[in-house]
Structures are given as C-alpha cells and as structure tokens.
Chains A and B, each alone.
Chain A
Amino acid sequence: MRMPETIWSDIALLIGFMITLYTIIIIAFYLFIFVTSAIQLRKEYRLKLDQSFIEHIYGDNVKPISILVPAYNEEAGIIQSVRSLLNIHYPLFEIIVINDGSKDSTLEKMIKTYDMTPVDKVVRTVIPTNQIKAIYQSEVLPNLYLIDKENGGKADALNAGLNFSNYPYFCSLDGDSILERDAFIKVMKPILDSNNDVIASGGSIRIANGCKIQNGNVLQVGLSENPLAIMQTIEYLRAFLMGRIGLSRHNLLLIVSGAFGVFSKSWVLEAGGYKRDTVGEDMELVIRLHRLIKEKNAKKQIVYIPDPVCWTEVPEEITYLRRQRRRWHQGLFESLWAHKKMLANPKYGNIGFISLPYFWIVEFFGPIVEFTGYLYMITSFFIGGIYLEISLLLFLLSFLYGSIFSMGAVLLEEWSLRKYPKVSDIINLFLYSLTETFWYRPLTVFWRLEGIWNVMRGKHQWGEMKRKGISE
C-alpha cells in the first residue's frame, strides 16, 4: 500500500509537469507566429508606402466609407476625434457620431462646435436599436451627422449608426482615438486590391500616451513616462506585430480591433450587426463573420495590416487598467461562449481547429494556468527539493515567454517599422520589457483571473473609464 504522502507528491509532480508542458507548447506556438511575422514585416521593410497609395487617392474606384463614432461620456476627446477625422485623406466619406445617451456634455459640445441642426430623416431599421431621439447634420460640414439616442451600449450605438449610414463600407472608431491621415487609404487598399474578396480589414493600434498630438494630428511619436503606459506599449507591440500579422497571414484572425477596422456593410448586416450586451462586440462580430463566410462557403478574407494607423489613449492608473482587463476577459469569454459550437467543428476549418482553441486555451484559460504556476513557485520555496527544481524550470520558461518575447517584439518594431524617433525610447522599451515577468505579467494575470471569477459568478461589471483627452 502506498503512503498518502507519495500520492500527494505524485499529484504535485503531475501538476508541475502539466504546467511546464503547457508553457512549452505555447512558447512553440508563439515562436512560429513570431517568425512568420518577422518575415512578413521584413519584406516590407523600408518600402516607401506613401507612393503606392497615392494612385488610390485619385482613382474613380474608391469605395465611400461611413465612419461611425459611438460616444458615451466622451466630452474630453470627442471634438478632437472628429477633427482628426475631418483631416483624413479620403475622397468620399461621412462621419456619424452616435451619442449613446451620454450623461456629460458630449451632445452639447458637438452641437456647438460643429453648428449642428436637427434634420428630418427616416432611418431604416435593419437592426433593431434603442429609440433614436434626434438626428443632426452639421451646417458647416454636410458630411458630418450626429445621432442622439437612448443609452443602449456601444454595440447598440454602432447598430444605430449602421442603420443610418449610406455607404457600402463602414469603420467603427472609438471616441478617444486619433487616426493617421492616410489610415483609410491604407486600410482600404487590401479591399480594393482583392476585388472585394476582403470583407474586413484592420490596422494596428498604437498608444498615444507620450505622443505629441495637436488638433487631432500626431505631431511627434514619443513614449510615456508612466511605467504602466510603457508596459502597455510593449504589450500592444507584441500583440499587433507578433500576433496579428502571423494570424492574418493564415486567415485565422479573430480580432479586428474595435478601435480601428473597416468592414463591408452588406456582410455585417447579413451577419446581424453588432451583438448587444456583450463587452467584446468587436471580436464577436469577427467570429460571426468567419462563421458566415464558412457557412456560405465564400472565398472571403479578413485581414490585418501592420502599419500603425490609429493612436489611442490607455489608462495610466492601476484602477482603470484593472477594470479594463477584467472587462476584456469577460468580453473574450462571452464571444467564445456564444460561438462554442464552432470549436473543433470540421465545418469551420482552421478557425474551429486553430483560432478558437488558441483563444480558449491560451487567452482564456491561460491566467488560471499561469496563476497556478505562480502559486507552485511560491509553495515550492517552502518545500524545496524536486519541486524547487520544477519551479526553477517554470520560472525560466516564463521568463522566456514573458520578457524574452517582449524584448523581441520591441526589437522587431525597431528592425522594421521604426516609429519611435528617439534612441532613448527604444532603450527604455527594451529595459522595461526585461522586467515584464516580474511585475506586469503577474498583475495582468491576476486581473484576468478576476474576469474569470466574474464570469463564474455571472456578474456583469462594465466599469466606467475615465479619459483625460489626449490632444492639446
């Protein structure tokens, strides 16, 4: 008969092995994506892109775009956001700001700044939304509209904008983001080049904290001095440069970020618009589009371009960052849960067998495994022996997975896109990414774990975000 202690120690060993194995698999997966991305990025290294886009500006064949800007309590940034939109280089577009029942002065500010007057317009309700109170059109800029509606959440606001919009392509944009002038030309290029086979196209998002922004234009790219903002800069570099390029290359992309992406309106309407009452409405929509593509057996694509085209403000305080991460994790779960039938379903090909399992295992359950790993390491300190060895192994792996990959991402940026003009910015980014494993990663793991906890309790916690406004 075996002693109970040996059973316990067997279990402890097994857990140790499992976590180690899990980490190794993930590292292998990331390594694969990293290499794909690096090759792709390097190919376009130093390409003078502007020139190739110029011809598209003058073409007779550009597709007009409706730009939807949902705004809920965005008084700090909305005017600058709209102003940056007015500056964009694109031949034909309309801007539709949707005031989703803001409690602050978003509506008044818009009306006053852009001289907006009510217009009689019947909106065709393709997707049901909350009551629209009024529609305004700017006296000075006839292509600027403002929809004032009862609060219904971001997805509801976007649907109202979709119902109202006139053009075949649309883009949704957060009220606190600043677009580069050529953003639309760059993002529309894959759609135009593909004879409309591309039905959604997303661009990179970069962090505006620390950049010099005036009148809705990025004057100089810079790095924030706030450690949390710097860590998020690294995180975004890693997600966009490494993750999405690699996934896009194999049409596995599940996220076209809510902050900036262009979609074909007819496909989105056919898919049923944005889903209400979900936090991650952008991801959910992309999964639904993939689903529709497969169900219709269409040869359509969803792509991502690495060029940073959109600058957004990120939280610099721990309270707000924590809320954001909890919310994102809940959103991730809702999207994945809503489409659980696609998981490992042969009908959905690579999406069902690679993308979705990846999001479930790595993105959603990752924090649980990582947290267990942390506990393991702490406990082993007191027990010692073989467990300490496993812990050391785990630590080395997580350093590889966290810090080394992040440093790699920073260097990849400097190797290819080179958006940061100062040498000191790159060195700072590099040094900060070295510390990732020791504080930032555990923090995000903990916050995401809280998200899972909220999901389990069935608790919806949106949490309002505070913006300070990024433009001077």
Chain B
Amino acid sequence: MFNQEILFLSILNLVLFVGLISLLGYLVIRKFIEIKHQNQLADVKNKLQPSVINYLLEGYFGNSFTFKKRVYLQAMEELFVNYAEVLTEEKVKMHILDFADHHFKHIYVKNLSSRRWSTRMNTLYYIEELGMESLIPTMLNRMDHRKTSQTEKVQMLRILATFQHPKIVEYVSEFNFMSDSDYKGILLKLNHQLLDLLFLNYHQHNAQLKYALLDVIYITSNLQYIHLVEDIFKHSIGEERIRSYKALVKLGYAQDINKFIPLVHSMVWEERMLTAKLLGTVKEQQYLPALRELLRDPIWWVRTQAGHAIASYPNSTEILQDVVQTEQDQFAKDLALEWLQKGVKNENARNHLE
C-alpha cells in the first residue's frame, strides 16, 4: 500500500545522505587546502617580515620578491595592517600606500564589485586600514548601487570622512538609516569646515544625526558651537534637550549657574544628574544644599553624580562625614560612605598594582 511512499522516502534519504557525504568530502578537502594555505601564509609572513620592516622605514626591500603569488600579497596585506596600527609616521604610511596602490588596487577594485557581501566588507576594512584614497571614485560608484548594503555604506562614509571628502555632507544628511553611534564614528573624523556645513542645516537633520552632532560637541568640547547648543537646549524637548544640556555642562558653560538650579527638581532624571555634574564643576559652597538633595535622589546615577560632585569639593571629607552622621536617608548615607571609602579603595588598588 505504501510501497511508493517508502520508495520515495528511501530515495530521498539516500540522495540527501550521498549529497551530505559529498559535501563532507568537499569541505574536508577544502579544510586540508585551507590548513596548508594558512601554514604557507605563516611561513611567507615570517620570511617577509624583516624585509617589510626595512621597506616601511627605508622604502626598499632588502631582498627581491616577486609579488605574483596570491599568498605573498595576502601576507603583505596582513603585515601592513599590523604595522599600520603601530607605526604611524607619515613616511611609513607613504610606503604602505605606494605598495598598496601598485599591488592591491586592481584587486580591490574587482573585490568591491564582488557578489559576496563579506568580500566587499573586508575590502572596505582594508581600504580604511591602509588609507587608500585612490579608491574613492570606485567607492562613490558603488554607493548608489542597488546591491550595496547599509553596513557597506556606513563603512564607505567612514573612509570618505578620513579623507575629508566634500561629498560626505550630502550623504550624511541623506542617509537616515544610521544609528547615532554610526554617525558619531563618522563625524568625529571630520574637520571644522565639513562639520560647519552640517551644523548649518542642523534643524533639517533626522533625530539620530542631531543627537550625534550634539555628542560630537560634547566629546570634542568645541566652544565654537556654544551658542547653537544653548539655543537648542532652550527650544528642544526629550533626548535632544538632554544631549544639549550634557554638552553645555561639559563645555563648562557656567555664566549663569542659577538658570540651571531649577533643574534639580526636573522630572527627567538625566537632567538632575547633569545638574549635579554642573554643580560639581563650579564647586561653590552655596550649591551644597542642592547637591545634598540630589544625594537623596531615587535614581542611582543621580546620587552617584551628586556624590562625585561633592567629592570634588575641597572640603569633601568633612561634608561627606556630615552627611553620614546627620542624614536620615539611607541612600544618601550609603553613597556618602561609599565616596569616603572610594579614596581608600583606589589607593589600595594602586598600591597592590605597584
């Protein structure tokens, strides 16, 4: 009754089984070749190493090598990437670039239009590591290609940013799929002229780009944009307001501290935390009551920041001891105690390390 089904399933199992066995055969052979290749690569790298150092520093190889074989080029690629991270002199960079433009460029051009995504990605990493500006036109062509993924685009923008390519402003404003950490990685590489162009159209950008721009001011402490940030702080809400406040605090914007005191009672805990930080930078006794209030905050981050701020006062030990003795609130007490102990702990850790 089920003869046909049984026959079908038997054949299916057999076919799959044979298929898997052949796949295994293929993978095993591939693995053998791969292992052999890896060993060979390691050998070549060892052989090349002294000459490569010579080349990087002096501009010529001690021995003559023919870079026709794939394994030699791959070894050079890996050695260069290793050295590019350690040796940052201009001269070394020039020599790497000379070699790369001569030997790798045509391979990379081909790789960039490879059908395999990971090949394209790896090539982009190498282009960034080796600093190959000459491939920018090829990348710009790829940028609008239908198959180019978002990850590739982000990586390309990083490379464009490294070379301060003017097109970057357009792309950054246009692409709305990036996260603020992607944006930040790119913006932090840009020079003032390009950043200015982006700040010029600040209000037209998408939220993530806005956040990233504010964070860039925060990270670089760039005073040039202080009025813009102040303006944003006044007229924004939510995350944008918090980030602009964070930048203001970092810039040490303390012309009129009293303006910010009401934020001790802000509904947004980030704002309370930042206010604690701000008060910590001015270290004036009149703000101590506000800080002590923040020490009782339900949010741990606010309490810690308040503790940190108090600890930066010149008479911090006295204040903290007073908190420990007089304060009713357990958290405030706990935190004061922690900050009192912290000095001791760090001291101990340092001694141990030495």
Q: A residues near B, CB below 8 A?
A: 43-48, 51-52, 55-56, 59-61, 119-122, 124, 137, 139-142, 166, 192-195, 386, 389-390, 392-393, 396-397, 399-400, 404, 407-408, 411, 414-415, 418, 421, 423, 426-427, 430
Q: For A393, give its contact among B9, B16, B208, B331 (CB under 8 Å).
A: B9
Distance to closest chain A CB from B103 (angstroms): 20
> Out of A60, A120, A142, A404, which one reaches B20, CB within 8 Å?
A404
Chain A contacts of B300 at CB under 8 A?
Answer: 124, 166
Query: How far is it, in angstroms, between the C-alpha of A421 and the C-alpha of B19 when the chains are bound?
Result: 23
Interface string of B323-354 (1 = CB under 8 A from A): 00000001101100110010001101100100
- When distances are taken between beta carbons in the complex, the residues of chain A under 8 Å from B16 are 400, 404
- Of the residues B17, B181, B208, B341, contact of A119 by C-beta under 8 Å: B341
Given contacts A121-B334, A124-B300, A392-B2, 5 further A-B contacts (CB under 8 A): A45-B118, A386-B2, A393-B9, A415-B27, A427-B28
- Point out the residue from B31, B118, B337, B338 that lies within 8 Å of A44, measured CB to CB: B118
**Interface 1/0s, chain B 97-124, versus A by CB < 8 A?**
0000000000000000000111101100
* Chain B residues whose CB sits within 8 angstroms of the CB of A122 once the complex forms: 330-331, 333-334
- In the assembled complex, 17 residue pairs joining A and B whose CB atoms fall closer than 8 Å, in A order, are A51-B125, A55-B185, A59-B181, A60-B218, A61-B184, A124-B331, A139-B352, A140-B348, A140-B352, A192-B179, A389-B6, A393-B6, A397-B9, A400-B13, A418-B31, A426-B28, A427-B24
On chain B, the number of residues with a Cβ less than 8 Å from chain A's Cβ atoms is: 52
Tell whether B88 is near chain A: CB-to-CB under 8 Å.
no
Whose C-beta in chain B lies nearest to the C-beta of A115?
B352
* In the complex, residue of chain B having the shortest beta-carbon distance to the beta carbon of A431: B24
Q: Among A61, A396, A418, which residue has its beta carbon within 8 angstroms of that of B180?
A: A61
A195-B208, A399-B13 as given contacts; A426 in contact with B179, CB under 8 Å: no
Q: Report yes or no: B345 in contact with A137, Cβ–Cβ below 8 A.
A: yes
Residue B66 interfacial (CB < 8 Å): no
> Does B182 sit within 8 A of A, measured CB to CB?
yes
Task: Indicate if the CB atoms of A140 and B349 lie closer than 8 Å.
Answer: yes
Minimum C-beta distance from A13 to chain B (A): 10
Query: Are the C-beta atoms of A396 and B129 separated by less than 8 Å?
Result: no
CB under 8 Å from chain A, chain B span 130-186: 155, 179-182, 184-185
Please name the residue on chain B nearest to A122 by beta carbon.
B334
Within 8 A of A (CB), among B229-261: none
Contact A46 B119 (CB under 8 A): yes
Distance between Cα atoms of A386 and B6 in the complex (Å):
12
Is A396 in contact with B24, judged by CB distance below 8 angstroms? no
Rounded to whole angstroms, the CA-CA distance of A60 and B181 in the bound complex is: 9
How many Å from the CB of B328 to the closest CB on chain A? 13
Kindly state the separation between the CA atoms of A140 and B346 in the bound complex, as whole angstroms: 9
Is B35 engaged at the interface, CB distance under 8 Å to the other chain?
A: yes
Q: Smallest CB–CB gap between A429 and chain B, Å?
A: 10
Q: Report B-chain residues with C-beta under 8 Å of the C-beta of A408.
A: 20
Cβ of B191 under 8 Å from chain A:
no
B23 proximal to A (CB < 8 A): yes
Contact (A120, B334) CB under 8 Å given A59-B184, A137-B345: yes
B23 surroundings in chain A (CB, below 8 A): 411, 415
Binary interface profile of B, 21-45, with partner A (CB < 8 Å = 1, else 0)?
0011001100110010000000000
A141 lies within 8 A of B349 (CB) = yes
Q: Give B206-242 interface residues, CB cut-off 8 Å to A.
A: 208, 215, 218-219
Question: With an 8 A cutoff between CB atoms, is B3 at the interface?
Answer: yes
Is the Cβ of B13 less than 8 Å from the Cβ of A396? yes
| Contact in complex: B184, A60 (CB < 8 Å) | yes
- What are the residues of chain A within 8 A of B129 when measuring CB–CB? 51
Let me know if B349 and A414 touch, CB within 8 A. Answer: no
Residue positions of B touching A, CB distance < 8 A: 1-3, 5-6, 9-10, 12-13, 16-17, 20, 23-24, 27-28, 31-32, 35, 116-119, 121-122, 125, 129, 155, 179-182, 184-185, 208, 215, 218-219, 300, 304, 330-331, 333-334, 337-338, 341, 345-346, 348-349, 352
A390 to B5, CA, bound (A): 10
A396 CA to B285 CA, complexed, in Å = 83
Q: Nearest chain-B residue to A413 (Cβ)?
A: B27
**Contact partners of A120 in chain B: CB under 8 A:** 334, 337
How far apart are the CA atoms of A404 and B20 in the complex, in Å? 8
Chain B nearest CB from A354 CB (Å) reads 26
Residue pair B3, A389 in contact (C-beta under 8 Å): yes
Q: How far is the CA of A45 from the CA of B35 in the complex (A)?
A: 17
A61 touching B349 by the CB < 8 A rule? no
A59 touches B122 (CB 8 A): no
Q: Enumerate chain B residues within 8 angstroms of A389, measured Cβ to Cβ.
A: 1-3, 6
- Residues of chain B within 8 A (CB-CB) of A55 are 185
Whether the Cβ atoms of B20 and A407 lie closer than 8 Å is: yes
Q: Tell me the nearest residue of chain B to A139, going by C-beta.
A: B348
Given contacts A139-B352, A166-B300, contact A48 B125 (CB under 8 A): yes
CB distance from A198 to the nearest CB of B (A): 11
Chain A residue with Cβ nearest B29: A423
A164 to chain B, nearest CB (A): 10
User: What is the bound-complex CA distance between A56 and B208, given in angstroms?
Assistant: 17
A99, chain B: closest CB distance, angstroms: 21
Separation in Å of the B214 CB from the closest CB of chain A? Answer: 12
Take A51-B125, A423-B35, A426-B28 as given contacts and tell me if A60 and B219 are in contact as well, using a CB distance cutoff of 8 Å.
Answer: yes
Distance (whole angstroms) from the CB of B32 to the closest CB of chain A: 6
B346 surroundings in chain A (CB, below 8 A): 142
For B218, list chain A residues within 8 Å (CB). 60
A192 to B180, CA, bound (A): 9
Q: State the CA gap A415–B30 with chains docked (Å).
A: 10
Cβ B185 vs Cβ A386 within 8 A: no
User: CA of A47 to CA of B2 in the docked complex: distance in angstroms?
Assistant: 48
Q: Give the chain B neighbours of A386 by CB distance below 8 A.
A: 1-2
- Is A426 within 8 A of B181, CB to CB? no
CA distance A166 to B122 in the complex (A): 37
Is A411's CB under 8 angstroms from B1's CB?
no
A356 CB to nearest chain B CB (Å): 30
B217 CB to closest chain A CB (Å) equals: 12
A213 to chain B minimum Cβ distance, whole angstroms, is 22
Q: Tell me whether B9 and A423 are in contact (CB under 8 A).
A: no
Q: Which residue of chain A has its CB nearest to the CB of B14?
A: A396
Q: Which residues of A contact B125 (CB under 8 A)?
A: 48, 51-52
Contact A59 B118 (CB under 8 A): no
